[in-house]
Amino acid sequence: MSVAPVAPAIAPPGPPLWLLAEVTYRCPLHCVFCYNPLDFAQTGRGEELSTADWLRVLREARALGAVQCGFSGGEPLMRDDLEELIAEAHRLGYYTNLLTSGVGLTRERATALKAAGLDHVQLSFQDSTRELNDFLSHTKTFALKQEVGEIIKSHGWPMVMNVVIHRLNIDHIDRIIAMADALGAEYMELANSQYYSWAHLNRDHLLPTSAQIRRAEAVTDAWREKVADRMKLFFVAPDYHEGKPKKCMNGWGNVFLTVTPDGTALPCHTARMLPGLAFPNVREHDVRHIWLESEGFNRYRGTGWMKGACVTCPDKEKDLGGCRCQAFLLAGDPAATDPVCPKSDRHGVVQAAVAAADAGEVPARPLVFRDPKASRALSG
């Protein structure tokens, strides 16, 4: 008698330790590298989750074991109920983070957020110069951000500064770190742009040259020694240049749960672009069902879905085949080996992009700023 082969069991996932609450796509800024989906404008104000919905999501995720909650957007301060949401998250025992451009963080709101129990604020800058900061965000926000830096410090939060790094600002890295030091930042994240969403659209303007990256790393290392007693510097290297796939989101459905403004639950904030996957909505399902049972969260868990070079690769448990969104964007197949991997049969696409950057090629098409009009035009 023949016995049917038994599919290897996938170990049940641990809890969604990190809940990212993208409470709104509204944002006064228009960053050319924005990570929000290109079609964000289709999600109108009327479709945002209500306060009651968010409070329920916070409770359900916490009951499942979530310990950290990031409030993000868009600009999360655009929501008037942010204090209420943070107070509930704090009461439930989350460690709470606010990820903000600083717009809307007045002294009054900062005091109210502190009273609500907010633990941590991450302030983003676009550059160390007014000109480039304001150009990249298409707003006049540089001076305001400096003020917000002072507000954050005076409310006793650790000062965490984030700057997305790309070809247009990477040569300012020395001044960027000096600015963070002058503002009293304890943590500085120099995050090379990840090429998804608006950054992917603008990639050929934004991808740094290999020489720029080497210089920036050397400058950062020198600063690390200089400020070792007061500031931690994180330089997040770009995977295009490293040729090393990242264990994206620490593994699909492993640790991260993102809930978008309209309630769609995602294993990462860009996964909605992937074709053939229906992602669940918190309006229709509770978080336990979403995390444990839904097709959207189970499809790329573990290694059983892999194909191509990943199947027999000794590194497959280490990086889990890289990023599914990048595989889709660059290879047209979410289950393909991430093309940043040299073993991918589409690695040439990444090499060509880096070669074009190294050759100083600039596309004829101008930069596209993130705004609702551009979003509607791009999403038809």
- Which residues make up the interface to ligand SF4 (CB under 6 A)? 27, 29-31, 34, 36, 73-75, 101, 245, 309-310, 313, 315-316, 319, 321-322, 337-338, 341, 343, 370
Nearer to ligand SF4, 100 or 294 (CB): 100
Nearer to ligand SF4, 238 or 245 (CB): 245
Contact 255, 310 (CB under 8 A): no
Nearer to ligand SF4, 23 or 34 (CB): 34
Nearer to ligand SF4, 35 or 223 (CB): 35
CB of 68 to ligand SF4, least distance (A): 19
CB of 33 to ligand SF4, least distance (A): 7
Residues contacting 379, CB < 8 A, separation 6+: 38, 39, 41, 42
CB of 311 to ligand SF4, least distance (A): 8
Nearer to ligand SF4, 47 or 284 (CB): 47
Crossing angle, helix 173-182 and helix 210-226, to 10 degrees? 30
Nearer to ligand SF4, 18 or 33 (CB): 33
CB of 309 to ligand SF4, least distance (A): 4
CB of 147 to ligand SF4, least distance (A): 16
Nearer to ligand SF4, 58 or 309 (CB): 309
Crossing angle, helix 107-116 and helix 142-154, to 10 degrees? 40
Three-state secondary structure of the chain: CCCCCCCCCCCCCCCCCEEEEECCCCCCCCCCCCCCCCCHHHCCHHHCCCHHHHHHHHHHHHHCCCCEEEEECCCHHHCCCHHHHHHHHHHHCCEEEEEECCCCCCHHHHHHHHHHCCCEEEEEECCCCHHHHHHHHCCCCHHHHHHHHHHHHHCCCCEEEEEEECCCCHHHHHHHHHHHHHCCCCEEEEEECCCCHHHHHCHHHHCCCHHHHHHHHHHHHHHHHHCCCCCEEEEECCHHHHCCCCCHHHCCCCCEEEECCCCEEECCCCHHHCCCCCCCECCCCCHHHHHHHCHHHHCCCCCCCCCHHHHHCCCHHHHCCCCHHHHHHHHCCCCCCCCCCCCCCCHHHHHHHHHHHHCCCCCCCCCCCCCHHHHHHHCC
310 is in an annotated binding site: no
CB of 301 to ligand SF4, least distance (A): 15
CB of 98 to ligand SF4, least distance (A): 12
Nearer to ligand SF4, 64 or 136 (CB): 136
31 is in an annotated binding site: yes
Contact 328, 334 (CB under 8 A): yes
Distance CA 197, CA 34 (A): 7
27 is in an annotated binding site: yes
Nearer to ligand SF4, 58 or 99 (CB): 99
CB of 224 to ligand SF4, least distance (A): 26
CB of 377 to ligand SF4, least distance (A): 17
Q: Which residues are annotated as a binding site?
A: 27, 31, 34
Q: Which residues are annotated as a binding site for [4Fe-4S] cluster?
A: 27, 31, 34
